[in-house]
Amino acid sequence: MSDTALDTPPAAGADRKAAFEANKLSKRLHRQVGQAIADFNMIEAGDKIMVCVSGGKDSYALLDILMNLRKRAPVPFELVAVNLDQKQPGFPAHVLPAYLEQVGVPFRIEEQDTYSIVKRLIPEGQTMCSLCSRLRRGILYRVASELGATKIALGHHRDDMVVTLLMNMFFGSRMKGMPPKLVSDDGKHVVIRPLAYVAETDLERWAEHRAFPIIPCTLCGNQEGLQRAQIKAMIRDWDRQYPGRIDNMFTAMGNIVPSHMMDRNLYPFTSLQATGVADPAGDKAFDEDDPCEPAAPSVVKLRLDD
């Protein structure tokens, strides 16, 4: 062992390792967000991006990464942070303005008492998310119009998108996920999700590293009994037992084969006829598909490892 190694305090070695891991995480997050933006053309020259900031880890990370990417982006765009103060009892109204002033981003705090509306209309013990979400969405669309925002950026990540797919399958009997880009309900805005390729565990680590001043959502008390919370716990458990399962499920959302599903609106099953022409890429009707066979290339690229 060298004299240098003997002279190095254990704490110094641990600090170097932590710095290395943080730098690696930073590169991965910025690369994944940049890739999602490029794959789905989320940001264009001259865009004014309204970043919805709730005080949770995901929206803090979204704003943080977009601010960094803007410095070296190939096209110019603006950012404005918007928080909806829903007048929840005990909400620390000073935290977000202080943080946003510190990082130097233009922002707007929109005060609307949706808390009282939700509490009045939803019986005690029932879930509040649906009504709360509808009220919040309408307000944010209005604010985006007032600000002249061309895009609305939300902090949903890879795990949110997989959970939404499973929620729709289990309880809505439909194959519907959470798209990385869509036109808003009112038809006036484009909503983007730049964290689409990012794992929630990475966002948790990033929030800890960056020491974001997290504000918990007290409106619903986190409602641990919600089906969404249970499904999130389920896929976390799957990923611990079978690493890569969430990645595979997410990638599958970008590798749809309409001819091998059952939606008659997407594929002309009723008019399907034999052509007499062999298709080298076609189905082998009497064979079972090999689930381990690699899928066709897709625009969805997870991990983007170093």
| H/E stretch holding 105 | none
Residue 158 CA to residue 236 CA, distance in Å, equals: 12
- Close Cβ partners of 219 (under 8 Å, ≥ 6 residues apart): 86, 88, 115, 118, 128, 132
SS3 for 53-66 is: CCCCHHHHHHHHHH
Residue 206 token pair? 């990033």
Measure Cα distances from 56 to 74, 129, 222 in Å: 29, 16, 12
CB atoms within 10 A of CB 295: 13
52 is in an annotated binding site: no
Radius of gyration of the chain from its Cα atoms, rounded to whole angstroms: 23
Residue 101 token pair? 């002033």
Q: Which residues pair with 192 in a beta bridge?
A: 153, 181
Q: What are phi and psi of 112, to 5 degrees?
A: -145, 125
**Residues at the annotated binding site?**
129, 132, 220
Return binding residues for [4Fe-4S] cluster.
Answer: 129, 132, 220
